[in-house]
């Protein structure tokens, strides 16, 4: 009985993984290409305040970055230490995990295009709400204390990733010219592999948890938990409970999407799914890093402000899509019905695996393995120095 249950959960996890394999490769490939032509060297100078213009710039820079939550948090701390405004650094952090290409593609495949649209509408809304909350409640004293704490340079996770020298292609020429150049192809392959190295554990963990939840928890339990028999209560409850579920799941970034698919099939509201995806920045490991980076008071403030912004963004997205009559009503996320057969998904997986193989070859041929070892050594060094 136990073996059958485990086999059911693992097969569901593997089927979901097979379903999102080609979108993951496509998303990380596009993300790598964007990072290859977008330099982050002057980022702190570009984010001097919390003006609307600066926050838009922060969102754009974040969207062009890696989707790894830990790397985003580390990089946000890095640019804050170099003089960037704290609000702008947090806007960058939000965009880096919630407005990236790969996340939108995975959501479209597992959940549907409406969720991708909701994510890219809700992300800027969350940044706007957070900026208001910061202006109302974030005191200069708390920011100064956080900056002093950040200056200590205590290690979190993915410090090596955030500390790597910028590999973006600089100089004159069009974006297409830069991408086709030898350096552009090499940079794309390096960013592609580094992003995979940063986030693969979250993806695997997310798939395993999603498979277990889909296989072991009956739909009737989910429907009762999310109050599906009372639409008004379900709409109110969804964005409130979703971030807390994310906190307990320990999974962040792209790994949250399979879990979101399980919750959607189970009956959570549309806005609840959006709030759940946003909550990758308040999972327990990230909260511990906030405490280490900025101190316990700022960590508590960030949890409260992020939670409020996530929930409010979920409500706003729910309302906007309801008014536009775009809210999906069929709960057919590709979870339980996912299966591995010779279809378009298999063909696309084969094609994109070949592309991934070419990028891996380029990565290894151009000293990528040594760079990855250096990154791991840097990460080990900062942890040793902390101890």
- Residue 176: strand, helix, or coil: helix
Tell which wins on pLDDT, 37 or 232. 232
Q: How many CA atoms lie within 13 A of 88 on its CB side?
A: 26
Confidence at 376, pLDDT banded by 50, 70, 90: low
What's the predicted TM-score (pTM) here? 0.80
User: Cβ neighbours of residue 260 under 8 Å, at least 6 residues apart?
Assistant: 107, 110, 111, 115, 273, 276, 277, 333
pLDDT tens digits, 189-208: 988 888 787 778 878 888 88
164 has pLDDT over 70 = no
271-323 pLDDT per residue, tens: 999 999 999 899 888 898 899 899 999 999 999 999 999 999 999 999 999 99
Residue (of 262, 5, 236, 253) closest to 110 by Cα position: 262
Q: Do 246 and 255 meet the contact criterion of CB atoms below 8 Å apart?
A: no
- Residue 339's region, left for phi above 0, alpha for psi from -120 to 50, else beta, is beta
In terms of average pLDDT, the best of 39-43, 181-185, 203-207 is: 181-185
Tokens of 77: 């701390």
**Alpha carbon distance 250, 265 (integer Å):** 21
φ/ψ region of 217 (left if φ > 0, alpha if ψ in -120 to 50, else beta) reads: beta
H or E segment and range at residue 302:
helix 296-323
Residue showing tokens 């910061």? 134
Total tally of structural domains belonging to the chain: 1
Tally Cβ neighbours within 10 Å of residue 172: 6
Neighbour tally for 286: CB within 10 Å: 27
* 31: pLDDT strictly greater than 80: no
Six-digit token string for 178: 């830069």
Is-contact 295 330, C-beta < 8 A? no
Which 3 state secondary structure label does DSSP give 376? helix
Cβ neighbours of residue 94 closer than 8 Å, sequence gap 6 or more: 59, 62, 123, 126, 127, 130, 278, 281
Structural domain including 370 reads 2-386
């Amino acid at each position: 009985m136990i073996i059958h249950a485990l086999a059911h959960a693992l097969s569901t996890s593997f089927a979901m993984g097979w379903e999102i394999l080609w979108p993951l490769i496509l998303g990380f490939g596009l993300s790598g290409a964007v990072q290859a032509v977008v330099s982050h060297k002057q980022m702190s100078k570009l984010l001097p305040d919390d003006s609307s213009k600066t926050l838009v710039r922060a969102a754009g820079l974040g969207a062009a970055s890696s989707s790894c939550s830990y790397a985003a948090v580390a990089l946000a701390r890095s640019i804050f230490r170099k003089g960037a405004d704290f609000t702008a650094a947090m806007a960058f952090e939000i965009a880096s995990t919630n407005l990236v290409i790969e996340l939108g593609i995975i959501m479209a495949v597992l959940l549907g295009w409406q969720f991708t649209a909701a994510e890219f509408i809700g992300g800027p809304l969350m940044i706007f709400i957070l900026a208001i909350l910061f202006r109302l409640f974030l005191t200069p004293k708390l920011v100064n204390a956080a900056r002093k704490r950040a200056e200590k340079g205590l290690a979190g996770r993915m410090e090596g990733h955030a500390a790597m020298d910028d590999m973006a292609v600089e100089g004159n020429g069009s974006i297409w010219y830069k991408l086709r150049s030898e350096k552009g192809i090499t940079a794309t392959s390096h960013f592609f592999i580094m992003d995979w190295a940063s986030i693969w554990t979250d993806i695997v963990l997310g798939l395993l948890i999603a498979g277990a939840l889909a296989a072991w928890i009956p739909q009737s339990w989910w429907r009762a938990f999310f109050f599906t028999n009372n639409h008004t209560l379900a709409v109110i409850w969804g964005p409130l409970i979703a971030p807390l579920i994310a906190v307990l799941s320990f999974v962040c970034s792209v790994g949250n999407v399979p879990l979101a698919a399980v919750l959607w099939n189970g009956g959570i509201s549309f806005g609840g799914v959006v709030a759940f995806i946003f909550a990758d920045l308040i999972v327990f490991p990230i909260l511990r890093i906030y405490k280490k980076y900025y101190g316990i008071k700022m960590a508590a403030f960030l949890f409260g402000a992020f939670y409020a912004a996530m929930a409010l963004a979920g409500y706003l997205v729910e309302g906007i899509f309801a008014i536009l009559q775009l809210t999906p009503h069929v709960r057919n996320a590709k979870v339980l019905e996912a299966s591995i057969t010779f279809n378009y998904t298999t063909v696309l997986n084969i094609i994109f695996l070949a592309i991934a193989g070419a990028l891996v070859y380029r990565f290894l041929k151009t000293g990528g393995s040594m760079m990855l070892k250096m990154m791991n050594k840097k990460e080990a060094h900062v942890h040793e120095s902390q101890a």
